[in-house]
Amino acid sequence: MVRDHKINLNNVKNIHMIGIGGSGIFPIAKILSDKGFYVSGSDSTESETTQRAENSGIKVFIGHNPENVDNADLVVFSAAIKENNPEIQRAREKGIPCLQRSTMLGIITDEYKNSVAVSGTHGKTSTTSMITHILLDSHKEPTAIIGGTLPRIRGNSCMGKSDIIVCEACEYVDSFLELHPRIAIILNVDADHLDYFKSIEGVKSSFSKFAEQTKDILIVNGDDGNACECAGDAKCKKIYFGLSDKNDYHAKNIQFDEFQAASFDLFYDKQFIVHVDLNIPGKHNVYNAMAAIIVCLELGVRPGDISESIKTFKGAHRRFEILDTVGAVTIADDFAHHPSEIEATLTAAKSMNFKRVILVFQPHTFSRTFMFLDEFAKSLSLADRVILTDILPVREVNTYDIYSEDLGQRIENCICVGTFDNAASEVLNTAKPGDLVLTMGGGNIYKCANMIVSEMKNKFRDK
């Protein structure tokens, strides 16, 4: 993908965003609107995000119609939008420049002296959110573009007054190769998006190119062999972090409380840097926190300020988010949709003081389910009870002939229910006091979580 260097935003007033309901494109639309551009957008269906866009003063069209772009000077579209989209076709006919979302993100980040890009197969949203939280507490006034909702900014983007921008760097379809950040993070490199990359070697090749595009500092998980391999040829300064003291920064004296939130001491070589108390669960968040802290140190935040700030960080939306406790049953929601993410989250959940973990899982895309079928079965089996909904197609057609039942038959104590209504009914019939009900997936399974909370409240109200 090659950036169109002919685009000069100084000559642009009206920008139309296709797919504005997407978690990747809406924060960019919001930033552009805050910068003073007139922004409109379209999406196929109404959603919470399209409503947030309208509440932000962005004109939103429901449905993709050619006339939506007639007044645009520039059209930006998400990776999910195809070239046969009627709005793109009209824009091409009228000679209106069209850019992918990733290209626009690259143009925006290039305007900032201190650009920070957070990459990795897992943990991008949590780490980007943590960095943003610390920088805001430290009065650094960052601009941020996050792939999920950060409650403290009531959204997934904020416009700051400083020369700092923090953003997620997504590897899918090589999107992050549009970025040339001053500081980059590689949290981990795992096999994913194999519908595009075909193999882990394809994934590593893409991350290697991203690493080489980093201008000054590359912060790498030194405990992740693939991440280290991808960082190898980068010419910039490299900083390694991890639990092993072979890394530049490493965590010592790690302890977990009853909710699996960690506390630890961060060292640089043999020098103590800061004590860290996390308010979010899981060993994986120790790694995320280390990466976030190193970025903030490089941006001039004092260790003591980092320590005070990070203990108040309660996570991003849909990252082991506790929604409610009803009738002594706790309901939580999580975004995990890859076997490694599922294993990390369920390992943390199983270590807490719940009697059982009941998992409601929505498989995300046919290709991922097909390619990682055995890995999904293994990680999901960590739960005491698994309830599977239908596979969410996202952008795909089921050419793989794969169904939730193919996954369910590989998991003990598992039931396939199809719809969210059926999943909620199954939870109401089986959950007992002391249980954790955890909805999980990269799609709209959060709607099922909200349904479960509502129906459980009605159930106990009637008693």
CATH number of the domain that 448 lies in?
3.90.190.20
Per-residue pLDDT tens over the stretch 200-258: 999 999 999 999 999 999 999 999 999 999 998 899 999 999 999 999 999 999 999 98
Q: Could you tell me the two tokens for 42?
A: 């379209």
Q: What is the pLDDT of residue 318?
A: 85
Q: What is the pLDDT of residue 6?
A: 57
Residue finishing a domain among 81, 101, 121 = 101
Q: What is the pLDDT of residue 2?
A: 37
Given strand 414-418, what is the order of strands in its sheet?
A: 321-326, 329-334, 436-440, 357-361, 385-389, 414-418
Does residue 170 lie in a domain region? yes
Supply the DSSP string of 281-299, one letter for each residue: ESTHHHHHHHHHHHHHHHT
The CATH number assigned to the domain holding 298 equals 3.40.1190.10
Verify that 198 and 282 share a domain, yes or no: yes
Does residue 337 lie in a domain region? yes
Q: What is the pLDDT of residue 346?
A: 96
Q: What is the pLDDT of residue 104?
A: 95
Verify that 301 and 347 share a domain, yes or no: no
Verify that 340 and 291 share a domain, yes or no: no
Verify that 266 and 193 share a domain, yes or no: yes
> Phi-psi region for residue 406, left (φ > 0), alpha (ψ -120 to 50) or beta?
alpha
Verify that 181 and 277 share a domain, yes or no: yes
Verify that 119 and 52 share a domain, yes or no: no
Verify that 291 and 381 share a domain, yes or no: no
Verify that 37 and 163 share a domain, yes or no: no
Does residue 276 lie in a domain region? yes
Verify that 86 and 129 share a domain, yes or no: no
Distance CA 437, CA 330 (A): 6
User: Strand 114-119 relative to strand 436-440: parallel, antiparallel, unpaired?
Assistant: unpaired
Q: Are 78 and 103 in contact (CB under 8 A)?
A: no
Does residue 3 lie in a domain region? no
Q: What is the pLDDT of residue 3?
A: 41
Verify that 205 and 283 share a domain, yes or no: yes
Q: What is the dihedral of CA 24, 25, 30, 36, to 10 degrees?
A: 140
Residue finishing a domain among 42, 76, 101 = 101
Residues whose CB falls within 8 Å of the CB of residue 147, separated by 6 or more in sequence, listed in order: 23, 24, 124, 125, 128, 156, 168, 170
Does residue 454 lie in a domain region? yes
Does residue 94 lie in a domain region? yes
Q: Are 165 and 108 in contact (CB under 8 A)?
A: yes
Q: What is the pLDDT of residue 1?
A: 36
How many domains does the chain fold into?
3
Q: Residue 119's Cα: distance from chain center in Å?
A: 10
Q: What is the pLDDT of residue 462?
A: 63
The CATH number assigned to the domain holding 13 equals 3.40.50.720
Does residue 107 lie in a domain region? no
Measured CA angle at 50 (ends 48, 54), to 5 deg:
115
Residue finishing a domain among 287, 310, 333 = 310
Residue 282 Cα distances to 67, 87, 123, 335, 358, angstroms = 49, 44, 12, 14, 18
Which positions of the chain have pLDDT values less than 50? Answer: 1-5
Does residue 315 lie in a domain region? no
Verify that 156 and 228 share a domain, yes or no: yes
Q: Are 165 and 198 in contact (CB under 8 A)?
A: no
Domain residues for the domain of 146 are: 112-310
Verify that 266 and 383 share a domain, yes or no: no
